[in-house]
Amino acid sequence: MKLFVDGVHTGQIRELLASGRVTGVIVQSGEGDLAARRVPLGPEAVREICGLLPGPVIVDAGGGDRERLIANARQLAAIATNVIVRLPMSVDGMDAVRVTAADGGRVSVGPCTSPVQAVMAAKAGALFVEAPLGARAGNEGEERDQVRRMVANLRMYGLPTELVVGPVDSADEIVDVALVGAHVATASYAVLAALASGSPRGSAAGRPPASS
């Protein structure tokens, strides 16, 4: 299973890449303690992050109707070859996925909360589908069961799409994500940096963040 860091701070990304702990970057959407970094990134910021690694950099295309989503997706996809454009699971979003994929752009769809949604996104051309997991997602047992079913359905249909799960909050949750069959787990710098500390919960309390 691969690990992606949820964040935009270049110093932190470099550190995790140098230690071999991550192979990709994801800029999450939503609310919570990561809200400060969940703002639309300008082209230069996206380009700088993409220049740090050859692996995927998942960036949100924002909101709007079908035309707005397609226009934003095309702008993001043109920045770098490793940009993965996140589009929403919606009627307009699925249209935008099909158009973007047909243009040669690479797409992630999220959040997907059911196996049917994951398969729909994959068949529309998504390279990744994103599913929530953990306390922030609701009932953890139900979420894990949904992830297992998503993985099973993608395999049953022979779809190459990878399932991205997170953001996880501890080393234990990273293990849980692997056990339910996800291809990728996402976590903050604090959680990923703490993996080398030997803490059973992956807690990084008291550790200063790396500067950009």
Rounded distance between C-alpha atoms, residue 187 and residue 1, angstroms: 13
Domains identified in the chain and CATH numbers: 2-197 (3.20.20.70)
| Predicted local confidence at residue 144, as pLDDT | 85
- Residue 187, classed as helix, strand or coil, is strand
Task: Report CA-CA distances (Å) from 98 to 80, 106, 114, 140, 201.
Answer: 20, 10, 20, 32, 40
Rounded distance between C-alpha atoms, residue 82 and residue 116, angstroms: 27
The pairing of beta strand 57-60 with beta strand 107-109: unpaired
The two structure tokens encoding residue 75: 């702008």
Rounded distance between C-alpha atoms, residue 45 and residue 40, angstroms: 10
| Predicted local confidence at residue 100, as pLDDT | 97
Q: Residues with Cβ < 8 Å from 51, sequence gap 6 or more?
A: 80
Q: Residues with Cβ < 8 Å from 67, sequence gap 6 or more?
A: none
Rounded distance between C-alpha atoms, residue 206 and residue 212, angstroms: 18
Q: Residues with Cβ < 8 Å from 114, sequence gap 6 or more?
A: 146, 150
Tell me the Cα Rg of the chain: 16
Cβ atoms of 176 and 148 closer than 8 Å: no
Weakly modelled stretches of the chain, pLDDT under 50: 29-38, 135-136, 201, 203-212
Q: What is the pLDDT of residues 62-114, one digit of tens each?
A: 889 999 999 999 999 999 999 999 999 999 999 999 999 999 999 999 999 99
| Predicted local confidence at residue 154, as pLDDT | 96
